[in-house]
Structures are given as structure tokens and as C-alpha cells.
Amino acid sequence: MRNRRSFIRQSVAAASALAFPLVGGAQPKAIKIGILHPVTGALAYSGQQCREGALMAIDDVNKTGIKSLGGTKLEVMLGDAQSTPQAGTAEIEKMNEAACAAVVGAYASAICLATTQAAARYNLPHVVDVGVADQIVERGLKNTFRFGPGYRTCAQIAMSNLHVLNTAAGKPAKTVMIIHEESLFGTGTANLLAKELPGFGYDVKEVIKHANPTRDFNNIVLRMKAVNPDIVIPANYYNEYALLVRTMQQQKVAPKAIYSVLGGAASSYKFLKEFPDAADGIIDCNHWFNPKDKRALELKKRTEAKSLYYSYEVFNTYTAVRLLADAIERAKSADRAAIADALAASTFNDHFMPYGPTRFENGQNTGAQPLMTQVIKGDIRVIVPREYREAEPIFPLRS
């Protein structure tokens, strides 16, 4: 029944297209978009989540197609960056030759650095979906656009919000311990925090770096016991974050707050489901959606219906693709230069991220910001800023 109806619909559409050609010349059959993520290798989980988000976005866009181009649909060219810059670059070459109009990807900062550069040689617009390293948008590449925040913004917002929360509670917290993973994002974030927190009046007692993967966190937790910081700030990936927090629970280490900055599991529904006790009360400063926007919650339902967790990779990449679709809509063309110009001038506001109207400066969306969330009563709730607040923050967790 559905097939027949859609067949009829398509036949009518085809017939009318033939009967009423658009004035002004031929329209493109479908616009190819490259979707590039590390879906195999060490980053496979995140890469696959990103891809899912992208595909859902493409489906949504294709419900109406690009209206300004007569309903032209987006066609996807999937690429696997295999968790290395070399593979990512090779895929960009393929996407360029396949005449992709633009690329969305590539999740990991190290890969994004290589792919944006490779794409720049062909003036291929590249929307960065996650990649938080600030260097990505600091090289003056005209084809690179990052919709979400970089780690400097995240760290700064986290710090000022920590100060606000602490001051409002009567300044119970003074000492800080930072635990970070050893590669690009963790080290960069930790360096920033260690440098700036003293300026806010906090005493950074210790900065601990750990490997990816780390098999055991008992030592780190022992140091935590010895140092006894008021606040523990973790910045790492999911597996290590989960192990760390579980170990803290086992060793009965309970600081006044676990305050994550880009914490791998801190605002993760997966972690919440698997370790509700360990997750309780954790604060995160991370990519998050506008909790008051129904569309974000609808996407959550759709994602969970596929037995996937609604993680930041999903909604970040989803909105990155929507941003691109909007730019193509404005550009009224599948031409790369036109799309790049449209992105640069974009004021895209029809999204459910807490960024407000888009405004790109040197490839960075200036309105991009992370949100502060806290696990309260078994759910992840936004606590700061006020306009997105869902629950009152609990700070400190204990006196």
C-alpha cells in the first residue's frame, strides 16, 4: 500500500517536473554531502553515534528537500576515517572527486585538523561537528566552520560558572584537583583550567594526567584521598570517566563536587543507566541541547527507539548537518563557493542547540556555548544558565 502510494506520488512529481520545468535552467539532481567519521578503530563508538545523528538529519531535511532548489534532496556519501588522520584525508580526496558539495565531520580533533586542511585545497566546505581543539578554527582556513564550542570556551564558561555556584553557596570550595586524559582534548582543557583557576581564587592542588586506556584508577583515587580536594575536575573519555567515578565510589571518596569539563560520562545517559549511584550529583560542562525545545526531545525519542543512547555526538552532528542544509537553502546552489559564503554569512536559528542565531567569525560560531548539567534524581538536568535551567543546582554535594 505504501509502495503504491509513494510510487504514484513519485510519478506525479516526475510528470510535473517534466511538464513544468523551472524557469532559470536545470536544477541539480541531488546534492552530495560527505559524512566522514571514525566508525572503525579506537573511536568507533563516537564515530558511529555521529553518523547516526547525521543520517537522521539528512532524513529530516529530505522530507521536504532543499526548498529553494525545488525540493532537491541531499544524497549521502559515507566515509570512514578509521580513527587516523591519514584515512580521513584519503576519504576527503574521494569525497572531493565524487563532487561532494560539502563535508560534515570528523569528530576527533586530530582527524579534523587533517581533514579540514585537505578539504581547503579544493575549497570544499567542511562543517566540524565536534572537534573541540581550538587550533581547528585558528588557521585561517576559509572552508572550515565549527558550529559548537571549542575547549577554550568550554573551560572558561565552566570556570566562571563554578565561581558563580561556589559564591552563591557561600564559597565552601577552595581546593581543586584536575584529572585529565593525556591526549589533545584532555591536556588542552586541563592546561587552560590550571592556568586560569587561580585567578578566580581557587587552589589547584594537583593535575593528574592518565593514559588512554587506563586500566585502573585506584592510585589516582588514593592520591585524591591524600590531597582531599574540595572539587574534582575530570576531563576524559567515557571509559576512563566511568572507571574513575566507580573507583571513587568504591574507595568512599566523596568530594564536595565532581565538576566535569567535557567529562566523558558526566552527562551521559548510558552512564546514568548503568551506574545511577555513582553518577548522582555529577556536574558537567559539556555539549548539550536546549532542554526546553521539543524537537531536541523528539530526536531523543527517535534515537532511543533505535536502541542508541542520546549522546552529544548524535545531537551535535545532527545540528551540524541542519546548519549545512540551511546554508545550501540560502545559497540556492550546490556550488561550493556559494555554500561556503552562505555558511560564513549564516544566521541559522532554527535549531535546538542553546546557541541563539548563528554567527561565524573565522569559522567559529560565536554563539556556541556548552551548558552546565547535573545528575539530579536520576536524570540529567540543565542547571546553568538560567534561561535553560531545569532544576536548582545542588552545590556543594556535601558540606
Partner 1 sequence: MNFDILFASVLNGLTTGAVYALVALGLTLIYGVLHIINFAHGAALMVALYGVYGLKTVFGIDPYLALPIMVPAMFVLGYVLQRGVINRASHGKDENILLVTLGLAIVLENLALLAFKSDTRTIDTAYTLTTVQLGPAFIALPKVIAFFGALLACAVLLTLVTRTDLGRAIRAVAKEKLGAKLMGIDVDHVYAMSFGIGLACLGAAACFLLPAYYVNPQVGSGFVLVAFTIVVLGGMGSFAGALLGGLLIGVVESLGGLFLGESLGQIGIFAIFIAVLLFRPTGLFGARA
Partner 2 sequence: MARDLTGIVIFALAVIALTLLLSSGVWLNALMMTLYAALLALAWNLLGGFGGQFSFGHALFFGTGAYASAVAQVAHGVNAWAALALAIVAAAAVGAFVGALAFRYGLKGSYFALVTLAFAEVFRILALSAGFTGGGVGMMLPLNESIANLQFGSRRGYVALMLGCVVAALITTAWLRHSRFGARLQAVRDNEDAARAVGVDPYRIKLGATVASAAFMGAAGAFYLQVFQYIDPGIAFGPHVSVEALVGAIVGGMGTLWGPVLGAALLHALGEATRNLFGQLPGLNLVIYGSVLVMIVLFMPRGLAGLGAWRRNERGRHG
Query: Which residues in this chain contact partner 2 in the complex, by CB under 8 A?
Result: 39-40, 44, 47-48, 78-80, 82, 84-87, 89-91, 93-94, 96-97, 110, 113-114, 117, 121-122, 135, 139-141, 181-184, 186-188, 191, 209, 211
Nearer to partner 1, 220 or 371 (CB): 220
Distance in angstroms (rounded) separating the CA atoms of residues 377 and 379: 6
223 touches, from partner 2, partner 1, none (C-beta below 5 to 8 Å by class):
partner 1
Question: At closest approach, how far in Å is the CB of 193 from partner 2?
Answer: 14
Q: State residue 99 phi and psi, 5-degree precision.
A: 60, 40
Q: Alpha helix (H) ranges present in 281-377?
A: 294-305, 312-331, 336-344
191 touches, from partner 2, partner 1, none (C-beta below 5 to 8 Å by class):
partner 2
Distance in angstroms (rounded) separating the CA atoms of residues 189 and 153: 10
Question: At closest approach, how far in Å is the CB of 212 from partner 1?
Answer: 9
Single residue of 203, 274, 298, 392 touching partner 1 by CB under 8 A: 274
Question: At closest approach, how far in Å is the CB of 396 from partner 2?
Answer: 30
Of residues 335, 322, 347, the one with CA closest to residue 125: 335
Single residue of 59, 93, 203, 216 touching partner 1 by CB under 8 A: 216
295 touches, from partner 2, partner 1, none (C-beta below 5 to 8 Å by class):
none
* DSSP 3-state of 359: coil
Q: Rule CB under 8 A: which of 295-334 touch partner 1?
A: 309
27-64 burial, b if ≥16 CB within 10 A, otherwise e?
ebeebbbbbbbbbeeebebbbbbbbbbbbbbbebbbee
Question: At closest approach, how far in Å is the CB of 212 from partner 2?
Answer: 8
Helices (H) and strands (E) in the chain, counts: 13, 14
Question: At closest approach, how far in Å is the CB of 80 from partner 2?
Answer: 6
Residue span 227-266 as binding mask against partner 1, x where in contact by CB under 8 A, dash where not: -----------xx--xx--x--xxxx--------------
Distance in angstroms (rounded) separating the CA atoms of residues 123 and 96: 9
Which residues on neighbouring strands pair with residue 271, listed in sequence order? none
Question: At closest approach, how far in Å is the CB of 269 from partner 1?
Answer: 12
Please check whether residue 85 is in contact with residue 117, taking contact to mean a CB–CB distance below 8 angstroms. Answer: no
Cell output for 52: 547516526
Using CB under 8 A, list all residues that contact partner 1: 40-42, 44-45, 48, 182, 208-211, 213-216, 218-220, 222-223, 225-226, 238-239, 242-243, 246, 249-252, 270, 274, 277, 309
